[in-house]
Amino acid sequence: MSNKLNIELKQGEDFYRLITIKDANGVAVDITGYSFAADIRRSFSDSVAYLSFSFNISDATGGEVEMTLAKALSTAKTIKIKENFLYDVEMNDTVRTTRIMEGTCSVSPEVTK
């Protein structure tokens, strides 16, 4: 069920992505009671996340969840050149955890302060 999607964070911007969870037949999954988590790390073996996304279920019966990262979080990091990281998104329904999305995450530095 994992989808590959490379994303870009621009330091100083709020990040927003609407994710719609669908089953193998393309039907929206009811995600009432589910939780979501996603970290950005330099490598798979890093024990501490560089940044973490927040989630808000916007339409549980329609399978819609909002993935966000506030600009204040990326702005607080010191970035001198565009850097590449790894991320994944996990969905938990209290019985099992499923990776639903993964890829690279590039972070570009802010010029305007």
pLDDT digits (tens, 9 = 90+) for 53-81: 999 999 999 999 999 999 998 888 888 88
**pLDDT for the residue 48:** 93
**pLDDT for the residue 2:** 64
**pLDDT for the residue 74:** 86
**Residue ranges of domains in the chain, CATH in brackets:** 3-108 (2.60.40.10)
Show the CA angle centred on residue 70, arms to residues 6 and 79, nearest 5°. Answer: 65
| Tokens representing residue 16 in the block | 């927003």
Range list of β-strands (E), 1-113: 3-4, 7-10, 15-20, 35-41, 51-52, 54-59, 64-69, 83-92, 97-108
**pLDDT for the residue 105:** 95
Q: Tell me the CA distances in angstroms from 78 to 10, 75, 83, 108, one per residue in order.
A: 13, 8, 11, 11
Over range 28-53, report the average pLDDT: 95
In three-state secondary structure terms, 30 is: coil
- The answer, yes or no, to whether residue 7 has pLDDT greater than 60, is yes
What span, in angstroms and rounded, lies between the C-alpha atoms of 58 and 46? 31
